[in-house]
Structure 1
């Protein structure tokens, strides 16, 4: 596992005068820490070196809550989906701004204007290095018009999929507002309501 490295995914365009962060990943000696989509202060998911996965957010009363037990990070094998986040493009002005000091890190820019829907989905996965063949089957293929970022400078590799079309969203609000959510299933890899699986959701209205 790499240590003391940070990766940021940000909007290519400025929103209210600043590029806005869509996701960040930070490798430390204790493990991988990251957050995607709407970024509330202090919220993050952590994959510890020993394989324990935790979530810290207002939903957990800002305390680290256990989510799963996976491979020890240095021994990660095959593929695992770490989570799905949704944010409205109309709320991106509330996301943290990309600061000059952030540019010393590895930064990926995403043109959010390429996505016609107001809702954006971000899916985070880890994959064993040089095992992209795991995604070759129909059950692992991304939906049409998916934007995929492959981060291969770290081990394990990080895959981020961004969806923003009506036909490929896994999760989106009714009528563009938070009156409820629509969930979709495409295949084994891309699903928000696969039969037999248990999901944990957080939803926040950002004013």
Structure 2
């Protein structure tokens, strides 16, 4: 998503990003809280110069754990004096190839299984702080619920049997039945899922998997 007033420069930027297989949309900052769930962007480019309240917008993006790159001229960046909470800054004019490289690096950092933050849609798992949030709202999980979610989210789309989950999450020292996995999944779903969010899928007669498109 590109947050900016649409103009010729922004249209040219969209054309360049499309050439590198990015899917783009342009929007102003009005009603951003409603726009984000509808568009579900992986990354936001924030055109600082064309937005009246870029600081407030940036704080909203940070609350939702959305990686953000701020685009601004050198004078604007200097005047901000460090008060804009973006993940990265690019000085205008810029080379589109540099922007693409930084965007890919930021996306990899935020979605890779070895990253400190695992993020898919509105779900964010901060592995450094052992915190989970959905749409910016922190969820209180037990240790095993957190470990189960982190393991599944680190392997999106892959199906795991209950026995495998017991082995990988509970370990060799656990001697209970495999139905404890069902109990934990049910409790986990009750805490992180609702009508607009479904992260853990059931594969009948096999087990569970994490859906990256939730």
Q: Scaled by the length of structure 2, what TM-score is found?
A: 0.26
More helix by share: 2
Alignment TM-score, normalising by the size of structure 1: 0.27
Structure with greater strand percent: 1
